């Protein structure tokens, strides 16, 4: 069975203040490279899959540094184009306790927004592939990417590739209306959708029905209802909804549900002491792709995806640098954090 996953999306530099330093007092940035899809790909590469990036970075040295970073963590960069002058930036300041983390985007006019498939045969990209993953930030960046994405999806379909999408709505990149319109068009290609309940409401206007909703927080039935509506409206094979309870910037509860036509399974809930939560959702996507490609049952898939992404929250940077063994140990119930020696 093919273990090749195609990831289409932007690659960026992430500049992170040190420790808990705020932007206004920072004198140093730690450098990471990132991208919603690349983040998922890095986890998959670490678990032995082939993760093939389709993207574009500038020709200058930071573009090369970005490619180097991707290669370092095992991503295949042969379809990363080199053109343009601007590498998108994510400035990040880590929150703590009652203080929120902050992200400043500087992505306008980035090389990726000029991505072109003119000289690209999508069949080369998808040959032997199993899965195409992208997130809602890709079309959000530039309208010109929407037809590109459609061509990619069509080629994927014709190569028998499963298509998954992480809704990933970012208010700073586009409006609810645009997102709703474009994402609805793209949904026709999608097999597996990942989102949280809030984004489902904002982008598709889907909210839990009837009396299943208690004020403020949805109960389990409410979340299941949102998943069901998504599944039905778009004819999806799977809908995954991530469930984050932000108790503070330091402590989060984290879980997810996975909905198929026949089941709605909730994963184990983890109380996480957060080191770095950026990329948490992307690492969930990786876990989901992995589990579904492995052909596991629904419960195992969601447990794997939640456990994997739980561990991501303890690792600096966007990449989920954990081994399969580490995820499986946690799934097996050992979250004790004892020393391995």
Q: Show contacts with a copy of itself in window 255-284 (CB under 8 A).
A: 270, 272-278
- 48 forms part of the interface with a copy of itself (CB under 8 A): no
Tell me whether residue 201 or residue 335 sits nearer to a copy of itself (CB atom): 335
User: Which of 138, 190, 302, 311 is the binder for a copy of itself (CB under 8 A)?
Assistant: 311
How many other CB atoms sit within 10 Å of the CB of residue 122?
20
- 60 forms part of the interface with a copy of itself (CB under 8 A): yes
Tell me whether residue 147 or residue 316 sits nearer to a copy of itself (CB atom): 316
Angle (CA) 10-15-17 rounded to 5° is 150
Tell me whether residue 133 or residue 313 sits nearer to a copy of itself (CB atom): 313
Q: Give yes or no for a contact between 46 and 74, defined as CB atoms under 8 angstroms apart.
A: yes
- 324 forms part of the interface with a copy of itself (CB under 8 A): no
User: Which of 48, 82, 96, 220 is the binder for a copy of itself (CB under 8 A)?
Assistant: 96
Tell me whether residue 68 or residue 123 sits nearer to a copy of itself (CB atom): 68
Tell me whether residue 6 or residue 322 sits nearer to a copy of itself (CB atom): 322
Phi and psi for 187 in degrees, rounded to 5?
Answer: -60, -25
Tell me whether residue 295 or residue 337 sits nearer to a copy of itself (CB atom): 337
Upper half-sphere CA count for residue 172 (Cβ side, 13 Å): 8
User: Binding segment for a copy of itself among 106-114, 140-148, 182-190, 296-304 (CB under 8 A)?
Assistant: 106-114
- 332 forms part of the interface with a copy of itself (CB under 8 A): no
Contacts of 143 (CB under 8 A, 6+ apart): none
The least distance separating a copy of itself from the CB of residue 253, rounded to whole angstroms, comes to 11
- 78 forms part of the interface with a copy of itself (CB under 8 A): no
- 195 forms part of the interface with a copy of itself (CB under 8 A): no
The least distance separating a copy of itself from the CB of residue 151, rounded to whole angstroms, comes to 28
User: Could you give the angle at which helices 220-234 and 197-204 cross, rounded to 10 degrees?
Assistant: 40
The least distance separating a copy of itself from the CB of residue 58, rounded to whole angstroms, comes to 9
Sign of CA dihedral 175, 5, 315, 32: negative
The least distance separating a copy of itself from the CB of residue 93, rounded to whole angstroms, comes to 7
User: Which of 120, 146, 213, 321 is the binder for a copy of itself (CB under 8 A)?
Assistant: 321
- Radius of gyration of the chain, Cα coordinates, nearest whole angstrom: 19
The least distance separating a copy of itself from the CB of residue 53, rounded to whole angstroms, comes to 14
Helices marked H in 142-296 — which ranges? 145-158, 176-187, 197-204, 220-234, 280-294
- 71 forms part of the interface with a copy of itself (CB under 8 A): yes
Tell me whether residue 68 or residue 214 sits nearer to a copy of itself (CB atom): 68
Please give the Cα distance from 17 to 27 (Å, whole number): 8
Please give the Cα distance from 300 to 271 (Å, whole number): 19
Please give the Cα distance from 184 to 205 (Å, whole number): 11
Please give the Cα distance from 187 to 193 (Å, whole number): 9
Please give the Cα distance from 337 to 317 (Å, whole number): 20
The least distance separating a copy of itself from the CB of residue 254, rounded to whole angstroms, comes to 10
Question: Site residues for a copy of itself, window 12-31 (CB under 8 A)?
Answer: 15, 19-31
Task: Provide the 3-class DSSP secondary structure of residue 186.
Answer: helix
User: Which of 222, 279, 313, 318 is the binder for a copy of itself (CB under 8 A)?
Assistant: 313
Number of residues that bind a copy of itself (CB under 8 A): 82
Using alpha carbons, select from 39, 109, 52 the residue that is nearest to residue 277.
Answer: 39
């Amino acid at each position: 069975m093919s273990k090749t996953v195609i990831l289409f999306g932007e690659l960026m530099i992430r500049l992170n203040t040190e420790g808990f330093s705020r932007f206004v007092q920072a004198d140093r940035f730690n450098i990471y490279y990132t991208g919603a899809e690349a983040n998922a790909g890095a986890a998959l590469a670490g678990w032995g899959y082939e993760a093939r990036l389709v993207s574009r970075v500038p020709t200058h040295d930071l573009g090369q540094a970005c490619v180097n970073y991707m290669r370092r963590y095992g991503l295949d960069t042969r379809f990363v184009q080199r053109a343009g002058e601007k590498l998108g930036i994510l400035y990040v300041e880590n929150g703590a306790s009652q203080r929120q983390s902050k992200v400043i985007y500087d992505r306008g006019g980035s090389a990726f927004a000029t991505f072109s498939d003119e000289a690209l045969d999508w069949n080369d990209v998808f040959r032997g592939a199993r899965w195409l993953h992208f997130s809602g930030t890709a079309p959000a960046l530039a309208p010109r990417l929407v037809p590109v994405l459609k061509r990619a999806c069509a080629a994927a379909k014709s190569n028998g590739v499963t298509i998954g999408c992480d809704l990933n709505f970012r208010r700073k990149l586009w409006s609810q209306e645009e997102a709703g319109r474009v994402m609805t068009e793209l949904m026709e290609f999608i097999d597996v959708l990942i989102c949280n309940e809030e984004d489902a409401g904002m982008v598709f206007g889907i909210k839990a029905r009837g009396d299943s909703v208690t004020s403020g927080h949805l109960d389990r039935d409410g979340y299941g209802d949102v998943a069901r509506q998504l599944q039905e409206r778009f004819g999806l094979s799977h809908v995954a909804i991530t469930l984050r309870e932000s108790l503070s910037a330091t402590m989060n509860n984290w879980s997810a549900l996975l909905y198929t036509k026949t089941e709605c399974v909730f994963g184990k809930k983890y109380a996480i002491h957060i080191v770095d939560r950026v990329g948490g959702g992307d690492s969930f996507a990786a876990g989901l792709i992995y589990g579904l490609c492995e052909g596991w049952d629904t419960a195992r898939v969601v447990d794997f995806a939640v456990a994997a992404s739980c561990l991501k929250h303890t690792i600096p940077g966007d990449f989920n640098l954990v081994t399969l063994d580490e995820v499986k140990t946690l799934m097996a119930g050992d979250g004790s954090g004892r020393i391995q020696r």
